[in-house]
Structure 1
Amino acid sequence: MNEKQLNRYRVISNVIEGNLKPCDAAESLGLSERQIYRLKKGVEEEGVSFLIHKNTNRKPYHAFDDDFKQNIVKLKKSDKYKDANFKHFQELLLENEGISISYNALYNLLTSNGVISPKKRRKSKKHYRRKRKARKGMLIQIDATPFEWFGNTDKFSLHGAIDDASGEIVGLYMTKNECLHGYLEITRQMILNHGIPSCIYTDRHTIFRSPNASKVSIEEQLEGKIINDTQFGRAMKELGIAIITARSPQAKGRVERLWNTLQSRLPVEFKIAGITTVEEANEFLLKYIPKFNSIFAVEPEDSELVYRKLTDDLILDHILCVKQTRTIDNGSVFSIHNRHFQVLKSPGLPEIPKKSKITVIISTSVGIKAEYQGNVYEVINFIKPKRKHETKQNKLKTKYIPPDDHYFKYGHDKFKKVYFDESYEEVLSVLEEIFLSKYA
């Protein structure tokens, strides 16, 4: 008997012997007088054993059997699930093993067997979070994070976009390093699957904001000095999306907390799915986004959407790209990145006058095109004949060949193959210089 049961036995014994009134006993034990009379009768008939609960030392009817518990502990310690935190492990058990168990029961089972969650929890600090936006599409937070996503020492950058109102992921794309290509791809996913948002919240990376923007004084601004937009900023302006740059990571805490969750879960998901390359990861992420949102997304305060539909006059491939201005010569040829291209005549489109300024569209989706007065023209590679004085034999130079693991070679697989017959190699070279070499 425990101390509580012994105390009850002493009080009931005094009631049976007449040394204590039932009302006083009820007050002493915190019970009703009716309960005192029931306990008195039970002790008189069955003795002290009546005060001991009948389920004492008996295994609960709904308790898990030992084999079931040992199987769960064995699965958690296996290489497949050892890196999953307890909550994620609970979800994976149901999804992959068909095992349903509550979080509290799982936590008690694992901790009692010496298993510790790999996700460390810091002591929470009191702080005030910015209130979520009321509607979807009002504010999108975007960022990128480098991490060892495949369980080895190689780091890759995952670009992501999350809706501030609902916490939904609207875009995920992985590349070797944080780069313009990654941010353009998550923007493409967001617009195609949801629409055009009102604002995008970013950090102060030079992809989003020119480093010269903070160097312009008020006097220079009043004089009309303008800092050119970055390529990403120009694309957002064409789509009518405002860019807000944060001054600290805490300001865009929603996307920063997203990285904490994904860094805990995605390596485990990749290991289970057998994913070891960036290409496989990007295909997997498209299917993983709805699964993640079904678990973590919340209902916004207002169900009305702020996302705008993509209109017919907005062609994403001609917006989510790099644009540079060039002048064509008398033969409709222009030079870009030490390579020459010729603008082709297109049926139904006016011919571009000589010496005109054109906008060169450089995209990982469509390759290289020329734009003039809103019309888009195809281009081909053009090899200029060498001048006579250039036929002089030059000293042979040793050509540097980068190793196989160099990102210049790695990047060949990052772009969708856009064939322009014999000009494809030249187009690919320009794409690599613009989108890859700067971030290699």
Structure 2
Amino acid sequence: MSQEQLKRYTVIEKTLEGSMTIREAAKHLGLSVRQVIRLKKGVEERGAAALIHKNRGRKPAHAIPDGVKETIIALKISDKYKEANFKHFQELLERFENIKISYSPLYKILKGAGIQSPKKRRRFKPHRRRKRKAQKGLLIQMDATPYNWFGDGKMYSLHGAIDDATGEIVGLYMTKNECLQGYFETTRQMLLNHGIPISIYCDRHAIFLSTKAGKLTIEDQLEGKVCNDTQFGRAMKELGITIISARSAMAKGRVEKLWDTLQSRLPVEFKIAGITTIDEANEFLKSYIPQFNKLFAVEPENPESAFRPLSSNIDLDSVLCVKQKRKVDSGGVFSFYGKHFKVEPKENQPYIPPNTYTNIFISSISGVRVEYNGRIYETVPFVKPKKAAERIPKEHKATTYTPPDNHYYKYGQSLLRRVTFEDSDRDILDMLEEIFLGKYKKLA
């Protein structure tokens, strides 16, 4: 018997002896008078056994079988599910192992076996949360995070966009590094699947905001000097999307919380699906986004969506691309970052006049294209033939040449600046290299 049951037995014995009334016993035990009468009658008939619950020592009918518990523990410590947190593991058991169990008993089983969840909880820090936007599409939070997604020690960047009102993922795309292409493809998913949002909330990365922004003095502004848009900023301006720059990671907390969740779940999902490359991951993410939204998305305060439908006359390949101006020579050839391309007009397209400045569109999806007078021209990589110099061999004596004192060799290195590319050009160079090599191989 427990100490509580012994106390009850002692008090009931006093009522049987007549040294304590039933009302006094009820007050001491914290029970009703009716319950004390029932206990007194049971002790008179069966003794102290009447105070012991009849189910004591018996296994509940709805208890989880020991075999199922052992199976759950064995699955959790296996390589397949070892890195999954308890909540994610509960979902995986139902999806792949046909074991449906509530979170509370699952937690007790795993904790009783000495298994700790790999996702540790930080100490709660009270802070004032910003209220969600009322409508879907009013504000999209966009960011990228590098992480060891495949468990091979290599870091890849996952670009993502999440709706502020619902917490719904509207785009995910993985690349080797955080780059313009990753944000363009994330935006493409959002535009095709949801529409055009009102604004995008992002950090102050050079992809979103020029490094010269905020450095213009009052005198510069009075003179009319402005800071040019980045390629991403120019594309959003063409679509009518406002870019809002956050000054801290905490300001865009919803997308930061999204990374915490995905870094816990996606590596396990990739391992189960046998995904080890970026291309496989991007294909998998297309079907994973609806599953994630079904679990974590919430209903907005206002059910009416603020997303604007994407017009059919908008060519996304001509918007989500890098745009620059180049001069086309008489042969329809132009150079772009050290590579040469040749314009190939179609049957119904007129030739571009020589020495004409045109707009160059470069994209990882559509390649390099030319825009002139509202018409889009396709291009192909072009290798200029080298001119064979006709040289007449001359007999000459080998002499030692000593440069004069005013020669560049002696003083000029300190006067000429080394030509380098800026960090903002690195994405363009990488994208151009892939397009040029890919098309050149096809032509060969």
Question: TM-score when scaled to structure 2?
Answer: 0.87
2:21 matched to 1:21?
A: yes
2:337 equivalent in structure 1 = 337
C-alpha distance in 2 between matches for 1:276 and 1:420: 26
2:283 maps to amino acid? E
Structure 1 consecutive aligned stretches of length 4 or more whose deviation exceeds 6 Å? 390-393, 414-423
SS at structure 2 position matched to 1:170: strand
Question: Does the 8 Å contact 1:84/1:268 carry over to 2?
Answer: yes
1:432 equivalent in structure 2 = none
C-alpha distance in 2 between matches for 1:215 and 1:379: 39
2:170 maps to amino acid? V
Q: CA deviation at 1:388?
A: 6.2
1:397 equivalent in structure 2 = none
1:221 equivalent in structure 2 = 221
Question: Does the 8 Å contact 1:22/1:33 carry over to 2?
Answer: yes
C-alpha distance in 1 between matches for 2:130 and 2:391: 68
2:309 equivalent in structure 1 = 309
The farther-off stretch of 381-390 and 45-54 is 381-390
C-alpha distance in 1 between matches for 2:182 and 2:325: 23
Q: CA deviation at 1:168?
A: 0.7
2:61 maps to amino acid? Y
Distance 1:100 1:46, change over 3 A: same
1:379 equivalent in structure 2 = 379
1:288 equivalent in structure 2 = 288
SS at structure 2 position matched to 1:121: coil
Q: CA deviation at 1:95?
A: 0.4
The farther-off stretch of 318-327 and 32-41 is 32-41
2:85 matched to 1:85?
A: yes
1:435 equivalent in structure 2 = none
What RMSD in Å do the two structures reach over aligned CA positions?
Answer: 2.5
Q: CA deviation at 1:416?
A: 8.6
C-alpha distance in 1 between matches for 2:435 and 2:189: 16
SS at structure 2 position matched to 1:9: helix
The farther-off stretch of 53-62 and 267-276 is 53-62
1:121 maps to amino acid? R
The farther-off stretch of 131-140 and 373-382 is 373-382
Count of residues paired in the alignment: 409
Distance 1:33 1:209, change over 3 A: same
Deviations 1:10-39 (A, max 9, x none): 111111111111122222222222112211
C-alpha distance in 1 between matches for 2:392 and 2:340: 22
Q: Equivalent residues in 2 for 1:19-168 (5 A)?
A: 19-168=19-168
C-alpha distance in 2 between matches for 1:381 and 1:138: 42
Q: CA deviation at 1:390?
A: 8.9
Q: Equivalent residues in 2 for 1:252-263 (5 A)?
A: 252-263=252-263
The farther-off stretch of 361-370 and 91-100 is 361-370
Percent identity for Structure 1 against Structure 2: 59
2:169 maps to amino acid? I
1:254 maps to amino acid? R
SS at structure 1 position matched to 2:143: strand
2:228 matched to 1:233?
A: no
SS at structure 2 position matched to 1:215: coil
Question: Does the 8 Å contact 1:201/1:246 carry over to 2?
Answer: yes
Question: Does the 8 Å contact 1:213/1:227 carry over to 2?
Answer: yes
C-alpha distance in 1 between matches for 2:354 and 2:248: 49
SS at structure 1 position matched to 2:214: helix
C-alpha distance in 1 between matches for 2:435 and 2:285: 18
C-alpha distance in 2 between matches for 1:264 and 1:86: 11
Q: CA deviation at 1:334?
A: 2.2
Distance 1:333 1:290, change over 3 A: same
Q: CA deviation at 1:341?
A: 2.8
Q: CA deviation at 1:289?
A: 0.5
C-alpha distance in 2 between matches for 1:46 and 1:388: 118
Q: CA deviation at 1:360?
A: 0.4
Q: CA deviation at 1:42?
A: 1.1
Unaligned runs of 5+ in 1: 394-406, 426-440
Question: Does the 8 Å contact 1:22/1:36 carry over to 2?
Answer: yes
2:401 equivalent in structure 1 = none
Question: Does the 8 Å contact 2:381/2:436 carry over to 1?
Answer: no
C-alpha distance in 2 between matches for 1:273 and 1:344: 43
Question: Does the 8 Å contact 1:133/1:139 carry over to 2?
Answer: yes
C-alpha distance in 2 between matches for 1:190 and 1:341: 32
2:268 equivalent in structure 1 = 268
2:117 maps to amino acid? S
C-alpha distance in 1 between matches for 2:440 and 2:149: 37
Distance 1:415 1:101, change over 3 A: farther
Q: CA deviation at 1:382?
A: 4.2
Distance 1:150 1:382, change over 3 A: closer
Distance 1:58 1:374, change over 3 A: same
Q: CA deviation at 1:176?
A: 0.8
